[in-house]
Structure 1
C-alpha cells in the first residue's frame, strides 16, 4: 500500500464494504489534506453514505486501511473518530431541539471532558468563542427548535468546531437553504479552509459543489469512477460521471397560453404569511412560484391546498369555489399537494410502497364493504410502472427506496386520483441528479397532458427547466411575473435577492 503521506489528513486505501453478498464499496481510495474541500459526488446508492459511515466509525470496512493524521485506525468507532477530529453533520443535524444554542454547541465537548455536571458558564463561553470564530451572531439562550434551518446548521458547525474538528463532513448541507443562505454557508466553509479545517462536501446541487471544492471524487455503484481538480469538472461532466450517461439540459417548451383558465386566486390574505395574492393559471400550464426563505411561498402553497386558512380571499378551480382552509374539500375538488418534506409530511414510512400509493383510492375500490385488492394492487402497480419507480416489490417498505423513488411514490398517490391541479413543493429536494432530471420530465409531461402544475421552489435551474411562467414572491407579496425561457439563471437570482 506504500508509505503514508504525512501531508494527508485522512487516507482511505482499498476500502471495501460488503453487506450480505452486496458490495456497497469496491476498493475505494480516498484522501483529504488539511484545509482542503473535497466534493464527494454520486447518485443515491453510489456508496457515498457507506464511505462516510466507515470514515466516521459507524461501520467497519470489510477490507482496506484507514489513516487519520498518519495513524492507522484499526477498529475505528465514532468516539475514536471524533477524538481524531472527524465530525459529521448529517442532514437532520442531530441536535437537541429542546436545548439552547449554547448547550447544543458545548454538549459534545463537555461530554468528552468527562465532567460529572454540565457547566453552563463554561458552555456559554465555549459557544461564544466558536460563534465569533465564524463571525455569526445567534442568541446563546435561544431554544434550538425556535431557530430557522440555516441557524440550526450553523449551530451544528459550531458544535463540530467546539470539539476541535480537523475534518467536517457535510451531508447535503444546502438542501433546505435559500440561495442567500447558501452563499453565507460557502463563505464560512472558505473561512474554515483558511484555518486548516478540511471539509468533505456531499451535495446534489452541483454548481455549489464545484464552487467551493478543490477536488472532486465521484462514486458510481460502489466504485470510484472519477477524481481530479474541481476545475476539470463542470455540471455536465460531473452528471455524466455520476450517472454513466448524458443527461441533456431541458426546457419546458412553448406554451401558447390559449388554454382555458383552470385556477383563479383573488386577493388571498393571511396576516404574517402573505397578502393580497392574486393570479390565474391555465390548463396545461406549469407555473413556478419562487422566493427566498420567509417570502411566503410555502404558506401560499399550503393555503392553495387548504392546510393554511387564509383570513380572506377566493380560490376557484374550473369556475367553482374551493373552500378555504379545508384540505378534504381541496382534495375533493381534485387538487393534489406533494409536500417538501416527504419523510415527515408526504409518506407513511412504516407502511409498504403499495399502501402509500393506494391510500388515496380506497373508496374507489370498495365493493359491498370489502376492498377489491386485485383492482387496488393493479392500479398502484400501474402507476409505479408509469413513473418508473425502481423497487424489488410493492410490498417492500417505502423507506427501502431512494429519495427519487420515494418522491415518485408520493406523486403516484396523487396522480392516481386524477387531479386537475397538482401542487409540488420542492419536487426534487434531496433527489440525486439522475432522478431529478426524470422528475422534471414527469412534470413537463403532466403539463403537456393538460394537468395544471404549480412548482414551489427556490432551485432556479429546476424552475427554468420546468415552468412556462414564474411568479416571484417577496415579503409575502407577488412582486414579479416572468415568462419561462425569457430569463437566465443569474438574472432570476438577482430578482430574488433584490
Structure 2
C-alpha cells in the first residue's frame, strides 16, 4: 500500500497559552477529497496555515509521501505541491487571466523576462485541463466571483499542485456555480490531485468528499468515510449538540399589511415587481445568478433608483433611490458582503453598532452622549450573544457569524419596521447559522417584516412563510412555506 500524500500526527499549536490545535492527526491520499469541518474557532484556519508553512506547530509531525518534514516554510510547502486557495483568492486584480495563472510558475522557474507566448500557452493548457473557457486577456478585476475562483484553481495547477486546499470555496457562489465547482473537483481527483475542502455547506461536503475530519475546540472529535455521516450527525459533531430547524408557524390571517411594492422596474435589472409584506412575516426572495434579486434588495433600500413603481410602508410612500429616506422610514438593509459593504473593519465592535445611533444620542449644541451611546451598543452585544471578549477590539477580529450579528445589532438598535437580509448566513458556520435563523424568527415574532434574499434553499425553507421566485428580473412564482421540499424548490428555480 502506497504512502499517503500528506500525513499529520499529533499536531499541536498554542497562542499565548490558548490551545488552537491539540494532538490532531489524519491522512490525505492522492486523488482523495477530504472535508475539514468545524465551526469558526475550531482550529481549521490554524491547521491550514501549518500545512501552508505560515505557522509552525509546537508539537507533532507532518509527512509528505512518507518523508517527515522539518520546520515547514511557505517555500517548502509550495515545492511539495501544496496550494491554498483562500476566500479572497489572492489574485492580482490589475493583471490578466493568463498573467495570474502563469505568474507563480514563471516565478518558480526564476524567469526574469515576460515570455508572453509561453505564458498564454501555459494558461490555455491549464484552463483546458479543468474544462473551462475564460478569455485569457480579460483583466481579473472584471471577472465574476466564480471565474476568479477558477483562475485561482488554474494558477495552482500551473505549478503542479498535488494537494489543493480550498477554504470556503462556495461562500459567494450561486447554486449553479457550486455545481460547476464540484464537477471540477471531481476532475481534479480523477487526475490524481488531492483536495482538502473546507466548507460550512454540509450538503456539498458530503457530495464531493470521501473522508471527513471534524474539529471542535482544536481537537479532532470525529473522522471517517463521508458515507458514515449525514447533515444531522455532522452538525452534532461540529457543535456538540443537535441543531434542528422547523419551518415557521403559519402567519395569522389577520396579520396587518406592512410593506407594499407595486410595479417596481429598473431597466436591465428587474421589471414590474409587485408583492406585499405583512407584519410578522418572513418573505424569501430567490433566483439564479442574473435573476435581479440583489438589485431588487438594493432598490427597496434606496441604493438602486427604480425607474417606475412605488414602495409604501405603513401606508406612506418611501422615496426611491434614497437610502437615508428609506432608513428614516423604517427600512433596514444587511448586505451580502458584510466585509466591504456592512462593516468598518478597522473600527471597534461597539463603534460598528453605535454608528447607527449617533442622532439618537446627540444633545444640544451637537454634543454627543458618548457613554450612553456605547452602553447601548454593549447591551446589544449581550442581547445578540456576540462572542466578543473585548468589545473595543476591531470588528475584523470576530468570526463571520459574530460579524453578522454586529451588523444585525446596528439595525435592530434603530427599531426598523422592515429588515432586508441579503444572504444572512453567508460564510458563517452551522451553529451560528441556526442562531441567526433564530434571531430572524424572534424579529418576526416582534412584528417586524423580514425579507430574506438567498439561494440557500434549506435556509429559505427553514425561515420563510413564503418564497418569491425571480427569473430574468421578474417575479414568476409565489410559493407558500412548507408546500415544497428542497428538491422541488431547486427544480422551480432552475426550470
- TM-score range (shorter-chain normalised) is over 0.9
Does residue 333 (structure 1) correspond to residue 329 (structure 2)? The answer is yes
Does residue 19 (structure 1) correspond to residue 15 (structure 2)? The answer is yes
Q: From 387, 392, 408, give the equivalent of 2:389.
A: 392
Aligned to 1:53: 49
Does residue 150 (structure 1) correspond to residue 146 (structure 2)? The answer is yes
Aligned to 1:443: 440
For 2:394 and 2:36, the matched residues in 1 are separated by 28
Q: Gaps (5+ residues) in structure 1?
A: none
* 1:215 Cα deviation from its structure 2 partner: 0.3
Following superposition, which runs of at least 4 residues in structure 1 exceed 3 angstroms of deviation? Answer: none
Does residue 345 (structure 1) correspond to residue 341 (structure 2)? The answer is yes
For 2:325 and 2:73, the matched residues in 1 are separated by 52
Assess if the C-alpha contact under 8 Å between 1:284 and 1:450 holds in 2.
Answer: yes
Tell me the TM-score normalised to structure 1 length. 0.98
CA offset digits 1:269-301 (Å, max 9, x no partner): 111111111111111110000011111100110
Does residue 246 (structure 1) correspond to residue 242 (structure 2)? The answer is yes
Does residue 176 (structure 1) correspond to residue 176 (structure 2)? The answer is no
Aligned to 1:358: 354
CA offset digits 1:287-337 (Å, max 9, x no partner): 000011111100110010011111121111111111111101111111100
Does residue 465 (structure 1) correspond to residue 467 (structure 2)? The answer is no
Q: From 200, 203, 214, give the equivalent of 1:204.
A: 200
Aligned to 2:277: 281
* 1:119 Cα deviation from its structure 2 partner: 1.3
For 1:283 and 1:199, the matched residues in 2 are separated by 47
For 1:103 and 1:196, the matched residues in 2 are separated by 26
* 1:363 Cα deviation from its structure 2 partner: 1.1
Aligned to 2:412: 415
For 2:306 and 2:117, the matched residues in 1 are separated by 45
Does residue 454 (structure 1) correspond to residue 433 (structure 2)? The answer is no
For 1:116 and 1:97, the matched residues in 2 are separated by 21
Assess if the C-alpha contact under 8 Å between 2:214 and 2:223 holds in 1.
Answer: yes
For 1:363 and 1:137, the matched residues in 2 are separated by 52
Please state whether the residue corresponding to 1:307 is helix, strand or coil: coil
Aligned to 1:222: 218
* 1:138 Cα deviation from its structure 2 partner: 0.8
Higher alpha-carbon deviation: 312-321 or 433-442: 312-321
CA offset digits 1:204-259 (Å, max 9, x no partner): 00010000000000000000000000000000000000001111122222112421
For 1:32 and 1:357, the matched residues in 2 are separated by 43
For 2:397 and 2:135, the matched residues in 1 are separated by 39
Q: From 125, 132, 144, give the equivalent of 1:129.
A: 125
* 1:266 Cα deviation from its structure 2 partner: 1.1
Does residue 405 (structure 1) correspond to residue 405 (structure 2)? The answer is no
Cα RMSD (Å): 1.0
* 1:6 Cα deviation from its structure 2 partner: 4.1
For 2:390 and 2:57, the matched residues in 1 are separated by 29
Aligned to 2:421: 424
Assess if the C-alpha contact under 8 Å between 2:351 and 2:374 holds in 1.
Answer: no
Q: Gaps (5+ residues) in structure 2?
A: none
For 1:461 and 1:449, the matched residues in 2 are separated by 23
